[in-house]
Amino acid sequence: MSNEWLDTIVVARHDATARIVVLDLVSPAGAELPEFAAGAHVDVLVDGAAGLVRQYSLCGPPHDRARYRLAVLAEEASRGGSLGMHRLRAGDRLRISRPRNRFGVSDQARRHLLMAGGIGVTPLLAMAHELEARGAEYTLHHFARSRPDSAFLDELEQNPRVRLHFDDGPDDQRFISATDLGPPDPDTAIYVCGPGGFMDFVISLALGAGWPAEAIHKERFAPVEDAAAHTAGTTFRVRLAKTGGEYEVKDGESVLDVLLAGGVDAPYSCQQGICGECIVRVLAGEPDHRDDILTDRERADGMFTTCSSRAHSPILELDL
């Protein structure tokens, strides 16, 4: 894993809802933390002995380098990540990576529509802070099952640019796509984050209304497909342009796993095709893209995720 770990201390902890904990992290030396842009996430070494690493979005104001703020949902099917984070208390030490960002605010858009489902509000809350500081035009739509399930409710309710939509709320707070989403606008960008079903629904609404795919920016917390779907397929070979080495990738193996087993210093982090850390460039061959992070333009430019994608051609040459 290509991480430079930073030591932090949990300086504050509180339960935002029955299932969401908010953690504030600071440097042990009181130094400033690395700067980040809205939409960024960090890798968290939840369990060093087990090598358990998870990714969490930074939800505090990007200009505040004194502390990082994370909000973590206790997943019912947790494999130890979210439950480990919920066990943290003030004073505990935590190792994190430097912030990474593939979900930033568009510099081309004049207006911004932020669509947050549940815990997906975390990166979009940071975007709201940044857009507020810029004086930019934006609306944040926050969807939750109910008020008790909504984290940061006090902060959201005080912002006139936020629209709250609760499943058990009155009809006048329901989301109406014709007006809340509206017709395509070349000066507007849409940002979507939350559970998979919610994201698929919003994205399909936007595409169905005629919004171009490049206007829709998204970040998922989990892959659309399972790991088996990522690695299933016929055998092919990977050639590394810088060393000339060739490696066979069989059915059930990922390109990344094969490269790491061969001693190649390949970049990676989540190994699920959602963080973008493993992206490399394809120099020759036909990729079989199975990630959920690259845009059509990035794929056309030769970008490729080694942890979740395969090849249609017998040989794939990578810029490694």
Residue 173 domain flag: yes
Domain containing residue 133: CATH number: 3.40.50.80
Predicted local confidence at residue 223, as pLDDT: 62
Give average pLDDT by consecutive 10-residue segment, the chain, 320 residues.
84 96 97 96 90 92 96 80 93 96 94 97 97 97 96 94 95 92 96 94 96 93 64 93 95 93 88 81 95 86 93 96
Q: Do residues 132 and 201 both lie within one domain?
A: yes
Q: Could you say which of 38, 63, 96 is where a domain stops?
A: 96
Predicted local confidence at residue 292, as pLDDT: 79
Domain containing residue 92: CATH number: 2.40.30.10
Q: Do residues 212 and 126 both lie within one domain?
A: yes
Write the DSSP symbol of residue 147. G
Residue type, 259: L
SS3 309: coil
Are the C-beta atoms of 140 and 128 separated by less than 8 Å?
yes
Diameter over CA atoms, the chain: 63
Q: Could you say which of 70, 96, 122 is where a domain stops?
A: 96
Domain limits for position 59: 6-96
Structure tokens at 252: 């059930």
Predicted local confidence at residue 64, as pLDDT: 94
At 169, which helix (H) or strand (E)?
A: none
Predicted local confidence at residue 225, as pLDDT: 54
Instruction: Give per-residue burial for 94-114: e unless 16+ CB within 10 Å, then b.
Output: bbbbebbbbbbbeeebeebbb
Predicted local confidence at residue 227, as pLDDT: 59
Residue 106 domain flag: no
- Residue reference for tokens 């066990």: 87
Closest CA to 254 of 171, 173, 194, 311: 311
Q: Do residues 189 and 130 both lie within one domain?
A: yes
Report the domain count for the chain. 3
Predicted local confidence at residue 79, as pLDDT: 63
Predicted local confidence at residue 26, as pLDDT: 98
Q: Do residues 135 and 92 both lie within one domain?
A: no
Strands (E), 36-156: 41-47, 52-57, 68-73, 93-96, 111-117, 137-144
Q: Do residues 204 and 265 both lie within one domain?
A: no
